[in-house]
Amino acid sequence: NAGVTQTPKFQVLKTGQSMTLQCAQDMNHNSMYWYRQDPGMGLRLIYYSASEGTTDKGEVPNGYNVSRLNKREFSLRLESAAPSQTSVYFCASRTGRLIYMNTEAFFGQGTRLTVV
Partner 1 sequence: DAKTTQPPSMDCAEGRAANLPCNHSTISGNEYVYWYRQIHSQGPQYIIHGLKNNETNEMASLIITEDRKSSTLILPHATLRDTAVYYCIVRVAHLSSRLTFGEGTQLTVNP
Query: Going along the chain, which residue ranges are E strands?
Result: 4-7, 10-13, 19-25, 31-37, 43-49, 56-57, 65-67, 75-78, 87-94, 106-107, 111-115
Work out which of 48, 68, 81, 87 binds partner 1, going by CB under 8 A.
48
Mask for 56-85, x = binds partner 1 (CB under 8 A): x-xx--------------------------
Work out which of 33, 34, 64, 74 binds partner 1, going by CB under 8 A.
33
Q: What is the 3-state secondary structure (H, E, C) of 79-104?
A: CCCCHHHCEEEEEEEECCECCECCCC
Alpha-carbon distance 49 to 93, whole Å?
Answer: 9
109 binds partner 1 (CB under 8 A): yes
Closest to partner 1 by CB, 14 vs 42, is 42
Work out which of 11, 17, 22, 44 binds partner 1, going by CB under 8 A.
44
Residues that bind partner 1 (CB under 8 A): 4, 30-31, 33, 35, 41-45, 48-51, 56, 58-59, 88, 90, 92, 94, 96, 98-102, 104-110
